[in-house]
Amino acid sequence: MSDEQMIMALRKSGFRVTKQRALVAEVIAKNDGASCKDIICLVRSRDKSIGTATVYRMIKALEDIGAVERVDMIKMVTDNR
């Protein structure tokens, strides 16, 4: 899903789209499959004012509206054994 689609989904679900949320959406869209920690590092490299909690809340909001899906890598590895 592109960052524009994520932003539209957020607006449709009643979220305000701030500059910070737009940046997080852009980073997630451009780094498909990145871990939460990687996303935080990438976001903070572009805007130091965005905190860890903001990124985690945004990821959770995107999960809740179905825009992104979290993959549990530990579960995935143990299921494939």
- Label residue 70 by pLDDT band (50, 70, 90): confident
Q: What kind and span of H or E run contains 81?
A: none
Phi/psi of residue 52, each to 5°? -60, -45
Residue 9 has φ and ψ, to the nearest 5°, of -65, -40
Whether the CB-CB separation of 17 and 5 falls below 8 Å is answered with no
Q: Could you tell me the end-to-end alpha-carbon distance of the chain, in angstroms, rounded to an integer? A: 30
Nearest CA to 65 among 3, 24, 9, 27?
Answer: 9
The model's pTM: 0.83
Domain architecture of the chain: domains with CATH: 3-79 (1.10.10.10)
pLDDT at residue 52 above 70? Answer: yes
